Every structure is written in C-alpha cells, then in structure tokens.
Amino acid sequence: MNQLDALKQFTTVVADTGDFHQIAAFAPRDATTNPSLILKAVQKPEYAPLLSDALTRYRHLGQDEVMNHLLVRFGCEILKHIPGRVSTEVDARLSFDTEATVTRARRLIDLYQGQGVHVDRVLIKIAATWEGIQAAERLERDGIHTNLTLLFSFCQAVACGQAKVQLISPFVGRIYDWYKKQAGVSWDEAAMAGPNDPGVQSVRRIHAFYKKFGVATEVMGASFRNVGQITALAGCDLLTISPELLAQLQASEAPLGRALDPQAANSLDIDFVQYDEAAFRFALNQDAMATEKLAEGIRAFVADTLKLEAMMG
C-alpha cells in the first residue's frame, strides 16, 4: 500500500489546487482553492478559456462579478472530479468587514446554486480574523458552510469552534516557515521534524482541544512544506495537500500509521477556554508568529487577486 492510500485510512484527503486536470489521479474527497492557486491555473494555456469566457459573459456587470463567476466556474469544474466539497475563497480585501464578507459569500452560493450545485458541496473560505469569524457564524446559521483559513493561532481555532464553523485550516507550513526564519542558522531541521515541527504541534494542540471538549468543527491541516509534516498528522480530520506532495505520497510505500487519535485526547490535561472579542484580540496580539503570518497571508492573497483583476483588463 502506498502512503497516500494508507493516509486515507485515517484522514480525509483533500487536493489543494485550482488545476482540476490534476485531481483525478489522486482521488481526493474534497478540494480547496485560493486566489493564488486560481492565478497560477489561469496562466496555463488550458485554463485561459475559462477567464476569457468569464470576461466575455460578465464584463458588463463589473470586475467583482467577473471574479465571482470565474471562481465559481473553477469550483464547478473541480466538483466534476471529486465526490465531496470545494472551498471557494471570499476576496481577502473583505477580511475586516463582516457585512461585506456575508454579502459576497451569499453571492457565491447563489451562483453555485444557479449551476445546480447543492449548498452542502461548497465551503466558503474566509480569513480567520475576528470579523471573518463573526461572518462565518452568521453564514453557518443560514446553512452556508465555511472554511476559516489563514489560521495560525490557538485563539483563532477556539473562536472558530465557538462560532460553530464547519471547518478550519491551520497553516502548518507557514508556521514552520516563521520559526525556521526566526531561528536562522541555529535551526536544526532533523530535530524539528515530524512531531517536533512547530506547525505540526499547533495542529495537534487544536485537534486535541476540539476532541476533548466535543467541538464539532473539522480540523484540516494545510500549507505543507514536506511529506513528514503530513505523516505526522495522519489521523487529523482532513489534510489538504498540493498535487506535488500527493504525488510523493503516492510514490512511496514507506510505513504510515495513525499519529493522531481522537480518543487519546480524553486523557490529556487540557484546560477549557473561551474568547470574547477583547480576549481574542489580545491573545492574537501576544502571538507574534500568528499576528505576522495572518497579516502577511491577507496581503499575499490581495496581491494575487489584484494580479487576477489586471489580467481581466
């Protein structure tokens, strides 16, 4: 059995790509996209017609609407290749605007439903700011399911659980990047691998808290830099993985066992915590890594959205 098939015994495998032609080879259940992945895809010749078609049909409605239709078109194409859900991201420029996020999310769902896609097959991706989490709480109450992204801290995960969001995406690789950069030449790659990886440890802490206290929100590790980070989280609810790393898993027959056991969390000494807005903002502020990576992530997604808009003319 290869490692990809072994992983599927413990964890729902999700493809992290906008390149829907790559998906079938790995048979994931779900798929995730973001502005950077869509930008990467539309620069390939085989996907250029999707952008051209959106421009031809919807340019008269304005740039936001062209973007909405382009994102939904990619999502619909992806859904032809998977049995589960696709995640489609709200414009990162709305990350601190609850009302605008809710409005944009509802528009995306309306477009999906116009294409015959059931609401349960779509997750609306929203940055895990305080405003984004409040928007997600409202959407969930209306039956629109959400994926809270750019999640780097424990307080973000706790607040998402309180809001009863469907799913969170802790960014393993970007946490790893920050600590590696901070350590500089003193970083010991071998010593900080696997369960000692700071990104892996972050997801394990969140997973244990959710399981111990019965939080229904799904945990989906994301943003991986290497296969070792993935295998160290085997047993997590879901893992969203790039095609490159999916191929490495598929090509390897090294042993892979469960690393996270939901039942084991019951015996762990974990304190229950909750956050109101002030406590959330303070806790996030005290976490330099999370504060920096959240801001950086929003800026990066905005930059790629602007590049997409530039391609639209």
Give domain status of residue 111, yes or no.
yes
Residue 183: count other Cβ atoms within 10 Å of its Cβ: 12
The total of structural domains in the chain comes to 1
Rounded to whole angstroms, the Cα distance separating 309 from 134 reads 27
At 85 the three-state DSSP class reads coil
The percentage of the chain sitting over the pLDDT mark of 90, rounded to a whole number, equals 97
For the domain that residue 211 is a member of, what is the CATH number? 3.20.20.70
pLDDT for res 306: 96
- Give dist(CA 141, CA 164) in Å, integer: 9
CA atoms within 13 A on the CB side of 2: 11
Check pLDDT > 90 for residue 14: yes
Determine, yes or no, domain membership for 34: yes
Asked if residue 25 has pLDDT above 90, the reply is yes
Q: Is 125 a catalytic site residue?
A: yes
Provide the pLDDT for residue 312: 87
Domain region containing 170: 3-308
The tokens describing 70, both together, are 């382009």
Mean pLDDT of the chain: 96
* Phi/psi at 131 (5° precision): -65, -40
**Of the listed 40, 80, 125, 181, which one is catalytic?**
125
In this predicted model, what pLDDT tens digit does every residue of 167-220 receive, in sequence order?
Answer: 999 999 999 999 999 999 999 999 999 999 999 999 999 999 999 999 999 999
- pLDDT at residue 10, rounded to an integer: 95
313 in any annotated domain:
no
Q: Measured in whole angstroms, how far is the alpha carbon of residue 253 from the centre of its chain? A: 27
For the stretch 254-288, pLDDT in tens is 999 999 999 999 899 999 999 999 999 999 999 99
CB 66 within 8 A of CB 38: no
pLDDT at site 313: 80
